[in-house]
Structure 1
């Protein structure tokens, strides 16, 4: 197909140079093209020795194709044409390929356009950069790609600092037109300009968001979706350079799993999500666990790997915080502990959500709920709720299977209300119920023991003294009773001894009673002084002169 029209001024002169580019044909004149194009001059010299012979050249390898060559030929013929942001890069590459020299210096004209207009605004700079995607590697060798990417980065930084449109983030939509490779060059340019991390994060999130929407909405085959998604993940900035929101990373991970992206892409996204897992919500993780239709729980292994990666990061951070404890004063450990507690609560709520899935295997549930260490939770009430929901949804489980489900929680870390509920929960295995009851009993005993310990020092001596006083009182009462019986006995014996007719038996009895009286006198600890001899009572009135007093020795008697 001939591509020449009225711009060929010498149409009356037969064409002696034919340029073919793909399906297009350009009948031209050597007298016009040879002086201005070094490439054509050398090609004609190599093709024929006869200067007047007609020559046909194939320039299908020319960057920009037939459109770029047509404008270059028009320029050689002095015809008018317009340089725009869409064709500037192609004209620059075509001029370099054709070796267009002075006075037909098309390359200089294109460079002036780029500096004065093409790269002065963000939309036109993005257009130039996008047009370079079909001109590689020529556009990159000529520096057009670098200039365009740097111009885009500069305009983004300016818009972030001094917005010129409303809303302030309008520029993020402009990036959606770029390919992942071109966006990567923009990110590199932003880093070179030391752009704010928030700007990098916004640019990356917006670009990936728009690309993700295109992937999910485009009815193309799975291979194209997978390739586009993998390329987008490859160009995302690192978490240190630009922390991307956890919600979007979870959506990106779900799309990667749904489109069956490569293991490298999925693992990269899992590590990215793990780095910001403390910012994720239950809905974010649940979105990862659901299938492509969002109806059933299918991707629990992905969620488990994300949680495991987070736990490993926290363990490494805690180890590093302990090694720098002197300089950081333990701040890193505190932050790590707070993040772990937050993630543990999120995982417990997630386990309660996925527990309602009837087809969820025990190993899948235990893998997610048990991914966080038990000691990371101050209370296991939320985890107990998840376990109870799973047991209620799966009533056909036997005792061993229920024990495996309950193995993710520690009954000793349940609150009083939760233990009370667990002790009456018929769905729990017997071992879990006994553990809850045992802990309550143990706690009560510990509380009683603690109370005894608190009062022992104050009341121990008082109780010991009371026991000693009671023992002494009982001994005293026994002695008083014995003394009263002896007095009654003596009062009945005294009248029969007044006659004195039989001294021998009286003397014997007097001797016996006197010994008893003296013994009782020595045993009585409450009666001091001297005791009288009862033998004087048996002698009557006439025996006063013979009466004598027995003075027993003082003896210290112990009452203990």
Structure 2
């Protein structure tokens, strides 16, 4: 590829790859290499280490081709590392008119940043080029285009299915995804638009933990600490991005997120956030939703039920506050919503009563959260108690 007519006089080392090249071809376009040679203490520098160049050997080969006037293809996949390499090597118009820095900037502006998909690919490649890609403003320019075009696509769909763009966003790591969603929020994206993107990304990035909303998918059973740490980070970022508006996400999706948070031992603030989201809409929660939060992924073992207790307690406190505000007695909370929750909780107790991990103190702790006035009849609670006593042979113990 490079000139063989004149013997090479310098070897450029990039990682484990060596390039036999010619100084005069390199210094004509690279200010960085020119300075290295001029400032070298060796009278005849024959070896240059450029292992730190962005993009590694593959990208350096393209910059070398540019120095030799050899054509190569600039694409959305290599434009970001080429821009960073041109900056690293100081291949600017200061040293040669029409240098690589200008050529790559032209491609970025006129080609790569003209479409959603192309900008997204460039943003993805930037993930391996930080912090330089951020410092050169490539990341922000891509984020601006992707978020702008995503908002336009959400409002004025151009193809089917209309949420195609949410699937494309899943190629990003969670930090890049956060930048895009945050930018969409600043652009005034609708809540349901953001929710759609968040759900799609969650189900793809945490697919072994939150694959659909049934709560029946089994985890990968991975004990890899590194994997769990990465998954925990993804989850906590996603939760931080959830819309604050009430009931903007499917109830069972939020319950699946909470179960995942418990499984991954997520931060207290992350779990509290999810518990509060479920608590404020508890009257719309089904028994199956609460069971999602309560069991591990194979459905054979109960989690610590503290989250369920916090959810119910939060709802009851809210109802008490409303009762007091309306001039009622907080001890006699019996709103329609509270009565509905009471039935759900009693039915839930019947479901978990058969599990040996459920201590009598935990059973009573959950049952007693519901104000007495909220239970017009106690049939469901008695049924739960009966199941619990029979399963644990407590009646036999009391009788004999």
Shared fold (TM-score, shorter chain, > 0.5): yes
Classify 1:337/1:58 alpha carbon distance in 2 versus 1 (closer, same or farther; 3 Å). Answer: farther
2:18 match: 25
Q: Indicate how the Cα distance of structure 1 residues 193 and 316 shifts in structure 2: closer, same or farther if over 3 A, else same.
A: farther
Instruction: Provide the C-alpha distance between the structure 1 equivalents of 2:219 and 2:147, rounded to a whole number of angstroms.
Output: 29
In the TM superposition, 1:404-483 aligns within 5 A as none
8 Å contact 1:226–1:261 — kept in the other structure? no
CA contact (8 A) 1:229 1:256 kept: no
Residue 305 (structure 1) aligns with = 310
Q: Which runs of 5+ in 1 are unaligned?
A: 1-5, 331-335, 401-426, 428-560
Could you say which residue in structure 1 is the equivalent of 2:7? 14
Aligned to 2:352: 354
CA deviation string 1:8-58 (max 9, x = no partner): 1x22212223221111112221211112111111121221474xx233221
- Structure 1 Cα separation of the partners of residues 359 and 219 of structure 2: 32
Query: Is the 2:32–2:89 contact (alpha carbons within 8 Å) kept by the matching residues of 1?
Result: yes
Partner residue of 2:231 out of 207, 225, 229: 229
TM-score using structure 1 length: 0.62
Q: Distance in 1 between matches of 2:111 and 2:323?
A: 54
Greater RCO (Cα-Cα under 8 Å, separation 6 or more) = 2
CA contact (8 A) 1:345 1:382 kept: yes
Cα contact 1:349–1:382 (8 A) shared by 2: yes
Q: Does structure 2 retain, via aligned residues, the 8 Å contact 1:19–1:28? A: yes
The answer (yes or no) to whether the contact 2:53–2:85 under 8 Å persists in 1 is: yes
- 1:47-89 deviation per Cα after TM superposition (whole angstroms, max 9, x unaligned): 1474xx2332212222211122111111121111111121111
Q: Residue 147 of structure 1 corresponds to which residue in structure 2?
A: 141
More helix by share: 1
TM-score normalised by the chain length of structure 2: 0.85
Shift of 1:389: 3.0
Alpha-carbon spacing, 1:78–1:179, altered in 2? closer, same or farther (3 Å): same
1:269 aligns with: 274
Shift of 1:339: 4.2
In our comparison, the structure showing a higher alpha carbon Rg is 1
Select 1:194's aligned residue among 185, 188, 193: 188
Shift of 1:377: 4.1
Matching of residue 125 in structure 1 with residue 119 in structure 2:
yes
Which string of whole-angstrom CA distances, capped at 9 and with x for unpartnered residues, describes residues 440-487 of structure 1?
xxxxxxxxxxxxxxxxxxxxxxxxxxxxxxxxxxxxxxxxxxxxxxxx
Matched, 1:247 2:217: no
Q: How many residues align?
A: 380
Query: How far apart are the structure 1 equivalents of 2:391 and 2:221?
Result: 37
The SS at the match of 2:114 is coil
Whole-angstrom CA distance in 2 between matches of 1:317 and 1:82? 66
- Distance verdict in 2 for CA 1:152–1:44, change over 3 Å: same
Evaluate the alpha carbon distance shift between residue 238 and residue 395 of structure 1 in structure 2; reply closer, same or farther with a 3 A threshold.
Answer: same
1:324-363 aligned at under 5 Å gives the runs 337-363=335-361
Please state if 1:76 is matched with 2:67.
yes
